[in-house]
Structure 1
Amino acid sequence: MLAATEPRPDRTFRSSDLSRLAPKVFAAAEDHPVEITRRDGEDLVLMSKREADARDQLLQFAAQLIAVATDDRGSLAERMSNSFPWMLALSADDRVQCAKDLVDAARASFATGQPHLAIAELTAWKETATALAAGLGRSPVEWLEDGEPAERP
C-alpha cells in the first residue's frame, strides 16, 4: 500500500511525460485528475473539463449550503427551500427528506472528494420536483396483473 505522500504511478507524471507519453497522461487525466510535477515551477493538475465542472458545481452547492446553515430562521427544510425554490414543488414531508438527503450527500462528497455524490442527489431531487410541478405522479398508477401482456402503443 502506498503512503499518502508517495506519488501514485497513474496519478503523477513529470512534465516531460506530457510530450513523451501524451496518450497515457491524457487517458489517466480523463479518468481522474493527475499531478504534473515540474522541476522549474509549481506542480500542476490536469483533469477533464467534466471533472472541473463537477468540482465547480460542488463548490456552488457548498456555498448555498453554508448560506442555509448560517441562517437561523425556520427549519432546515424551510431554509433550503429559500435557497432551492424548486423544493416548494415537493410535499412538506418530501422537503424534509430532500434537505436531509442533500446534506448527507454533500458531507459524503466533501469527505471522499467525489463531487458526483452530491450533484447526483441534487439533480435527482430537482428532477423529481420538476416532474411533480408538471403534474406527473398525481394520477393513480395502474398496475398490470402478473403475466398479463401489455398492449403496444
Structure 2
Amino acid sequence: MALITLTPAERRVVQSSELSRNSAAVFAAAEEAPVEVTRRDGETLVLTTKREAAAHERILEVAAQLIAVSLDDIGTLEDRLARPFPWIKLLSVQDQRTCAQDIIDTARGAFVVNQPGRILTEIKAWQNTAEAVAAGWGQDEPDWLREPVAVKKPRV
C-alpha cells in the first residue's frame, strides 16, 4: 500500500523509501501534480514532470518581462509590452490596448490565486489572435444567412 499523503495545499508527500518500493505509483502521482519526497538524510525533494518544470520556468520568464515592462516609463503600456511580445503590433490599436490591459490584469489575478499558468494561457490566446489577424482572418464582414438552412445530422 502506497504511503502517499496530501498536505493542505494538495501536494502529495512520500518518503524516499516509498519511491524505491512503489515507484510506479509515485511516478503516476508525479504526472498529476508535483510530489514531495522526504528524506531522513537530506532536504526534501520535489518530483515533477519536465513539462511542469518548463512551464514554471516560462512563467518566471514572463513575470520578469512584466516587471521590466512595469518599471519602464518610455511609451505606452502596449508599446512597452510589444518589446517582449512583438506580435502585439499586429493587432488593431484598440485591441493592443485591450490585450495589454488583459495581460496585466490576468497576471495580477493569477498570482493572487496561485494559478500563474493562467498568464501563459492569456498571452497565448492573444498571440493566436494576432496570428489570425496577420493571416487575414476577421477582415471580411460575415455573410449572414437570411433564412435558416437545414443540416443533416453528421452521423447519418
Q: TM-score, normalised by structure 1?
A: 0.85
| Greater displacement, 85-94 / 134-143 | 134-143
Alpha carbons 2:59, 2:120 under 8 Å: kept: yes
Cα distance between partner residues in 1 of 2:110 and 2:91: 24
Count how many residue pairs are aligned between Structure 1 and Structure 2: 146
Per-residue deviation at 1:74?
1.9
| Partner residue in 2 for 1:34 | 35
Task: Kindly indicate whether residue 88 of structure 2 is the aligned counterpart of residue 83 of structure 1.
Answer: no
Per-residue deviation at 1:146?
5.8
Root mean square deviation of aligned Cα: 2.1
User: What CA deviation, in whole Å up to 9, does each residue of 1:36-73 have, x standing for no partner?
Assistant: 11111111001111211111111111111111011011
1:1-153 to 2 correspondences below 5 Å: 7=7, 11-145=12-146, 147-149=148-150
| Partner residue in 1 for 2:3 | none
| Greater displacement, 79-88 / 121-130 | 79-88
Q: Secondary structure of 1:59's partner?
A: helix
- Percent sequence identity over aligned pairs: 47
Does the C-alpha gap of structure 1 residues 10 and 113 become closer, same or farther in structure 2, counting only changes over 3 Å? closer
Structure 1 residue identity aligned to 2:101 = K
Alpha carbons 1:109, 1:116 under 8 Å: kept: yes
User: What CA deviation, in whole Å up to 9, does each residue of 1:16-39 have, x standing for no partner?
Assistant: 111222222112211111111111
Unaligned residue ranges in structure 1 (runs of 5+): 1-5
Per-residue deviation at 1:138?
0.6
Does the C-alpha gap of structure 1 residues 140 and 55 become closer, same or farther in structure 2, counting only changes over 3 Å? same
Structure 2 residue identity aligned to 1:88 = K
Q: TM-score, normalised by structure 2?
A: 0.84
Alpha carbons 1:10, 1:28 under 8 Å: kept: no
Unaligned residue ranges in structure 2 (runs of 5+): 1-5
Q: Secondary structure of 2:145's partner?
A: coil
Structure 2 residue identity aligned to 1:22 = S
